[in-house]
Structure 1
């Protein structure tokens, strides 16, 4: 039984396509560099009419941009760049200080408390990427330079669904990496030893 149908929710063609891309068995290599994730990010950004979309990872108090897709004239963030996590919208979404869906950042009552950005942020969608052990990997975020009053809860659902499926790919890749490491170890006389 499909739990989405139990709640009266029926995925649209876009959501089905995203699911197919992200659930497909990933090729070898980094789960976030695989062919499906950049394609999903681009399709999601275009569908939501946003200027920038990215997957970030939280590492040692920083937010690292792992995958980024932008409109042609919106290259304001590059893959591999990082910034202090506490000075990010991402951290505020994760800890509940900022909603996941914002139509107009400047209209928020707390807009003056938000970190300054070197580019305008109008509409903003963000959701955590949560791994199967409960740890937060980072976030899946997108924003437009101008406000967007047409965004709906269903758009946020699409972002959340993509974040869950992105987390699954990361979990699957980490499991394969762990299996490869374990395959190189053997137990001899009670102490693990690396196979030569």
Structure 2
């Protein structure tokens, strides 16, 4: 928006041969300069606030001064205004900026330090056209701001009301179906109803991504406090949040040896150095790292080579139809061999059928997660599930 204003201001000032062009917004009894283009150093700058009273803008809007003034020396009211001499102002053009709603936003003005007798009605019409373009851009900007504010309000309401819950999906050892860990997943019940991915994308878009992610981490670890000590707890954290400086605090108070950070991949990682620095002290405490959605993202295999994770989680897209797809089988078998040789745990996500399970077992994939084993559930149901249907395994 600022760049668009700057282009309009420079173009109009140069075309009309004026010394200063500016856009002001009216705020009560004051006006704030939203953009200024000047041929020379000027006391008028973007952000400057001045009172509306006894100013050219106020008189033009009220009808006391014309929008086109080629020579202020010929207009008695101009000579009575202090800014005529202080700036000075020899010629002045000013048109209102009205938004689509009819609201008067402010004014678009050009001035010259000396009289400009050549200024005419065509120049004034050009100013009106520029003002219309500015108003259109402002309307689009304000709509975006209103949408952002509405999204922020919904997000804040959900957070403040605690209107969220954490569910856990078991991670099992394929060889004996023992539960060795869980992945914590967020659920939101605030209206309008949206999936968790949409909530997190919205939070990221309005600059609240880390706050929501770390709140989810804290809630997950609080809920997991009553789970058996040998179960690992996987929490999802994006690379950008990893480097925000607040992750260690969010993970505090829970046995670090049970925590697994799943690095989610939504955008490419341009620089691994900050992430490696953030992970180093956490890994020293015993926290493990998992690369999530391997095989589906931008560069998940590169993540494996650079970050050297403890766990690789194969994306659902690699597991779906694997029972009848030799290409997928070959790729997963290669990753299983890689995991075996590097002592990395390999977890297949999205396992939904008996055929997929049997294929993964034949391919020597060691761990699995998905609806075939268990749906996401709250703590109480998870405890019952583990006690009644599966035997507990070790977390090694």
Q: Name stretches of at least 5 consecutive residues in structure 1 with no aligned partner.
A: 1-30, 187-191
| 1:134 maps to 2:121 | no
| 1:89 maps to 2:56 | yes
CA displacement 1:102-127 (0-9 Å, x = unmatched): 01011114334434442211110000
C-alpha contact 2:26 2:32 (8 A) present in aligned 1: yes
Q: Which residue of 2 aligns with 1:103?
A: 70
Alignment counterpart, residue 18 of structure 2, candidates 44, 50, 60: 50
Number of equivalences: 158
Q: Which residue of 2 aligns with 1:77?
A: 44
| 1:183 maps to 2:159 | no
Q: Which residue of 1 aligns with 2:253?
A: none
Name the SS for the 1:170 alignment partner: helix
Q: Which residue of 2 aligns with 1:195?
A: 158
How far apart, CA to CA, are the structure 1 residues paired with 2:11 and 2:29?
A: 30
Task: Name which structure has the greater RCO, CA cutoff 8 Å, separation 6+.
Answer: 1
How far apart, CA to CA, are the structure 1 residues paired with 2:12 and 2:117?
A: 18
Runs of at least 4 residues of structure 1 off by over 6 A? none
Name the SS for the 2:23 alignment partner: strand
CA RMSD between the two structures = 1.8
Name the SS for the 1:97 alignment partner: coil
Q: Name stretches of at least 5 consecutive residues in structure 2 with no aligned partner.
A: 160-396
Max radius of gyration: which structure? 2
Name the SS for the 2:147 alignment partner: helix
TM-score for both structures, normalised by structure 2: 0.38
- CA 1:124–1:171: 2 relative to 1, 3 Å: same
TM-score for both structures, normalised by structure 1: 0.74
How far apart, CA to CA, are the structure 2 residues paired with 1:119 and 1:193?
A: 46
How far apart, CA to CA, are the structure 2 residues paired with 1:55 and 1:111?
A: 20
